[in-house]
């Protein structure tokens, strides 16, 4: 989504669009490209003429050059499309629409500056853009220009109009019809309707001199005034002189005067589009973040702007874009994570009927966290909502396997305790507790390895996926893969050791008894 200066003409923007499309098509991985400029026929897309939108479709990955990734393609395209006066912005079509509809920012990140004066807002946005360029990770920076648009201003000279005996309404009708165009009818083709619009050709209205030469009919003394606008549209022959007489067949003739003699025609600067939000004028600095996580970038950039960009009284600065969604997700996760851990612990208590043993099983969670964090860091993934969802799923898997291990250990120990209660053996010793722990651990070894193995077989292929949704699934699966490995080590090694220590201590204190899970034993 490249953006150029607000005063760029339609002709120049179309030229830039054509050049960019040709450059994009020259990259071997590009299948097709389609560019659009300006606003579509919908009120939900208030895009100025200076904003271009190009949809790029890539070939299948099997046809890409060896070693090429999507980021490499974007970097190559961005390097080739460095056109003076044009700033590029790279995004995906669907998330771009979601961002624009939800936050009004078409990039991943944006800074909204609110205030009362458009000139001040533009200056603050440009200064913020220059400061953010020094922050590592900033890409596709562009400060929205709230000023700089060029508008055609036609100011009718009332004295000149009176001197020629022309009505103000006649001059305005000529301006409206010749320059702006007027619908004079409709072509009907079945269910379709096409308006018939009449105005001067582009070459007769695309510059000031051509507009100054637009002919306005003069009401001849004593002549009829009918059809003056029609005559004005057809009398281009006399545009070279001050006044010209044409259509000699009409009674009295019809005279014409160039528009430049009865009106002041100039280009005046002004805002190309006035944006407001929450009853305040607004300017935006657009940017994307590459090569680092968005959270650390925003913290560093916010500290810099607080130091280097003092805001005048009445002006405020607000971070927007996907950062708003990330903040909302962070606030929800701060509530959900403790709730999830509490519910896991509560369900463990319902299984073990013992708070201490439930806590021992919960120790598999930090061990799973170790492997997940290491693998996420090794793969270079930033912490995101997808990563945290993967950790939540990992906690459930880790605790599930831990519960099965504890059940096996208790079953082995409870059988010995039952034999002692029924007089089939003597009192248990420390060695009996250790043997029961080893027996339960060995019985659990094969099921545990099979559980971890089947989970990894299902999850590992996702790390090599490249289709739709892979960008979300890979960060989600990474903590699960790393955490399953470390939690398996914990469940097979650490959990039995902790179980043995607890039961040995209970035996020495004379408190060793069958678990509450052994009610099924007769």
Residue 225 has pLDDT above 50, yes or no: no
Between CA 12 and CA 316 the distance in angstroms is 35
Exposed, middle or buried by CB within 10 Å (0-12, 13-18, 19+), for 336?
middle
Q: Note whether 101 and 42 are within 8 A (CB).
A: no
Q: Note whether 309 and 124 are within 8 A (CB).
A: yes
Express each pLDDT in 485-512 by its tens digit: 888 888 888 888 888 888 888 888 887 7
pLDDT score of 264: 92
pLDDT score of 353: 77
Between CA 258 and CA 137 the distance in angstroms is 57
| Span 331-338, average pLDDT | 85
Stated as kind and residue range, the H or E segment containing 52 is: strand 52-58
Q: Note whether 88 and 2 are within 8 A (CB).
A: yes
Between CA 409 and CA 387 the distance in angstroms is 33
Instruction: Share the mean pLDDT of the chain.
Output: 82
pLDDT score of 250: 42
User: What percent of the chain has pLDDT above 90?
Assistant: 15
Tokens for 149, please give them. 């648009």
Residue 520 has pLDDT above 60, yes or no: no
Between CA 38 and CA 41 the distance in angstroms is 10
258 falls in which pLDDT band (50, 70, 90)? very high
Which DSSP category does 50 fall into? T
Q: Note whether 156 and 164 are within 8 A (CB).
A: no
Instruction: Name all domains of the chain by residue range, CATH numbers in brackets.
Output: 1-90 (3.30.70.1430), 103-147+274-326 (3.30.70.1440), 151-269 (3.30.2090.10), 353-520 (1.20.1640.10)
| Span 442-470, average pLDDT | 81
Q: Note whether 158 and 300 are within 8 A (CB).
A: no
Query: CA-CA distances (angstroms) from residue 100 to 46, 86, 91, 96, 104?
Result: 10, 21, 12, 6, 4
Express each pLDDT in 136-145 by its tens digit: 988 888 888 8
Stated as kind and residue range, the H or E segment containing 340 is: helix 322-352
pLDDT score of 114: 93
- Percentages helix, strand, coil for the chain (3-state, rounded to 5) are 55, 20, 30
Q: Note whether 196 and 187 are within 8 A (CB).
A: yes
349 vs 156, more confident: 156
Express each pLDDT in 55-107 by its tens digit: 999 998 889 999 888 888 998 999 999 888 888 888 888 877 777 777 778 88
6 vs 186, more confident: 186
Query: Minimum mean pLDDT among 76-80, 118-122, 237-241, 399-403: which range?
Result: 237-241
The residue written with tokens 């974007």 in the block is 74
- Which stretches of 118-203 are assigned E, i.e. beta strand? 138-143, 149-156, 182-189, 192-198
| Span 457-485, average pLDDT | 83
Express each pLDDT in 110-137 by its tens digit: 899 999 888 899 899 999 999 998 899 8
Tokens for 357, please give them. 């043993």
């Amino acid at each position: 989504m490249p953006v150029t200066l607000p005063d760029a003409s339609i002709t120049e923007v179309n030229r830039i669009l054509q050049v960019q499309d040709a450059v994009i098509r020259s990259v071997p991985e590009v299948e097709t490209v389609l560019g659009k400029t300006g606003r579509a026929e919908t009120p939900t897309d208030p895009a100025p003429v200076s904003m271009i939108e190009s949809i790029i479709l890539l070939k299948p990955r099997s046809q890409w050059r060896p070693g090429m990734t999507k980021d490499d393609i974007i970097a190559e395209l961005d390097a080739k499309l460095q056109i003076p006066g044009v700033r590029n912005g790279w995004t995906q079509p669907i998330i771009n629409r979601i961002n624009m509809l939800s936050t009004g920012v078409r990039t991943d990140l944006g800074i909204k500056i609110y205030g009362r004066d458009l000139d001040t807002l533009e200056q603050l946005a440009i200064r913020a853009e220059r400061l953010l360029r020094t922050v590592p990770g900033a890409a596709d920076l562009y400060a929205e220009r709230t000023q700089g648009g060029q508008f055609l201003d036609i100011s009718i000279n009332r004295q000149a109009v009176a001197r020629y005996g022309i009505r103000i309404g006649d001059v305005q009708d000529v301006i409206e019809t010749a320059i702006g165009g007027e619908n004079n009818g409709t072509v009907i083709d079945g269910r379709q309707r096409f308006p018939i619009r009449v105005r001067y050709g582009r070459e007769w209205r695309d510059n000031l001199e051509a507009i100054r030469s637009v002919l306005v009919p003069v009401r001849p003394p004593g002549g009829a005034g009918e059809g003056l606008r029609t005559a004005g549209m057809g009398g281009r022959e006399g545009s070279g002189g001050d006044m010209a007489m044409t259509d000699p067949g009409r009674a009295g003739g019809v005279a014409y005067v160039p528009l430049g003699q009865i009106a002041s025609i100039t280009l005046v600067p002004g805002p190309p589009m006035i944006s407001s939000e929450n009853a305040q004028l607004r300017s935006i600095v657009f940017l994307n973040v590459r090569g680092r996580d968005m959270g650390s970038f925003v913290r560093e950039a916010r500290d810099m702007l607080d130091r280097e960009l003092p805001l005048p009284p009445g002006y405020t600065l607000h971070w927007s874009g996907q950062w708003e969604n990330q903040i909302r997700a962070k606030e929800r996760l701060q509530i959900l994570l403790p709730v999830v851990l509490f519910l896991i612990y509560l369900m463990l208590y319902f299984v073990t009927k013992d708070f201490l043993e439930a806590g021992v099983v919960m120790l598999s969670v930090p061990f799973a966290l170790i492997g997940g964090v290491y693998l996420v860091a090794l793969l270079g993934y930033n912490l995101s909502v997808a990563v945290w969802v993967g950790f939540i799923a990992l906690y459930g898997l880790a605790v599930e396997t831990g519960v099965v291990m504890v059940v096996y250990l208790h079953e082995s120990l409870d059988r010995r305790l039952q034999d002692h209660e029924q007089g089939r053996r003597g009192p248990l010793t420390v060695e009996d507790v250790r043997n029961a722990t080893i027996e339960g651990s060995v019985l659990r070894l094969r099921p545990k390895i099979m559980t971890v193995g089947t989970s990894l077989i299902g999850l590992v292929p996702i790390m090599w996926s490249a289709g739709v949704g892979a960008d979300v699934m890979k960060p989600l699966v990474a903590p699960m893969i790393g955490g399953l490995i470390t939690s398996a080590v914990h469940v097979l090694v650490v959990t039995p050791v902790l179980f043995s220590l607890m039961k040995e201590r209970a035996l020495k204190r004379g408190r060793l008894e069958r678990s509450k899970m052994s009610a099924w034993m007769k």
